[in-house]
Amino acid sequence: MQNLYRLLLTLILSSSVFSISAHDLKGAISSEDRTPANTLRDSERNPYETLSFFGIESDMVVVELSPGGGWYTEILANYIHYPGTLIAAHFSADSERAYFKRSRANFEKKIAENPMYGRVEIVDLDSQLADEGTVDAVLTFRNLHNWLGSPMDNIFSNTYRALKPGGIFGVVEHRAKPGTSMELMKKSGYVTEEHAIKIAKKHGFELISKSEVNANPKDTADHPKGVWTLPPNYRLKDVDRDKYSEIGESDRMTLLFKKPSNS
């Protein structure tokens, strides 16, 4: 019995140490729970600097819009703890598009297989996201180009509604050259800062700050297969691979919006 008590005590203490370290942003980023292939992109995606710029705290209620395979979800799930919650707004479970359904199923499987995701809830991207005025922060990483048009209006509107007064909306997106047409934005995967800011303001957001933490001056944003020419996609496969590898990932805007405190 005494040995059992000692074992239980050791497990509790070990769990507590893990819990404490997981609440630290640097610890969440360096966590062994992350997929090794994902950690290789840290130098390109700057998660510590980005999440610090957005002011994300471990006890917040945070919505991540369109998390894809969960690159940022791994970090956020390791960082967010009670009373905070991470809400992942993924493709609709009832989507008629096979890719969307497959991506959602793979994401749900990832979440179910690791206790690290115990504070993660999954909702549909085209839903209301959360009860009105209950969310501290909404984040999206490299997704705006997929929403150009009415989907972007719908998602920004639902984001505004879900946020508490004073809540923040953090956006990272591939940055198009000023004056790029809508047609080219849709084709290339790059979006102008002007358009992103315009749509955010249209739905009531205030632009608080910009950061160049995810800027890449090597990226000319005019590649044969758009942003997907660059790593990690390499849409041209081996054609000029060294050239695009040297450029690295895309030049990105990093924008911080806020829902007015008096709204």
* Structure confidence at residue 23 as a pLDDT band (50, 70, 90): low
**Cβ partners under 8 Å of residue 77, min gap 6:** 86, 116, 117, 119, 120
* Structure confidence at residue 2 as a pLDDT band (50, 70, 90): very low
For residue range 61-107, what is the model confidence (pLDDT) as tens digits? 999 999 999 999 999 999 999 999 999 999 998 899 999 999 999 99
Q: Is residue 133 scored above 60 in pLDDT?
A: yes
Instruction: Record the tokens describing residue 34, joined without a space.
Output: 């992350």
* Partner residues linked to 172 by β-bridges: 141, 254
Nearest to 122 by CA among 86, 154, 156, 167: 86
Nearest to 143 by CA among 253, 234, 260, 257: 253
Distance between CA 233 and CA 216 in Å, rounded?
Answer: 17
For residue range 145-193, what is the model confidence (pLDDT) as tens digits? 999 999 999 999 999 999 999 999 999 999 999 999 999 999 999 999 9
C-alpha distances (whole Å) from 199 to each of 64, 144, 238 are: 19, 11, 37
**CATH H-level superfamily of 2-217+245-258:** Vaccinia Virus protein VP39 (3.40.50.150)
Distance between CA 13 and CA 18 in Å, rounded?
Answer: 9
Distance between CA 58 and CA 229 in Å, rounded?
Answer: 35
For residue range 230-253, what is the model confidence (pLDDT) as tens digits? 999 999 999 999 999 999 999 999
Nearest to 138 by CA among 78, 54, 27, 244: 54
Under 8 Å between Cβ of 73 and 103: no
pTM: 0.91
Under 8 Å between Cβ of 77 and 119: yes
Distance between CA 58 and CA 150 in Å, rounded?
Answer: 33
Backbone dihedral region for residue 260 (phi beyond 0: left; psi -120 to 50: alpha; all else: beta):
beta
Distance between CA 48 and CA 69 in Å, rounded?
Answer: 19
C-alpha distances (whole Å) from 228 to each of 127, 221, 224, 233 are: 28, 10, 9, 5
- The pLDDT of residue 263: 82
- The pLDDT of residue 236: 98
Domain locations in the chain? 2-217+245-258
Nearest to 35 by CA among 67, 65, 74: 74
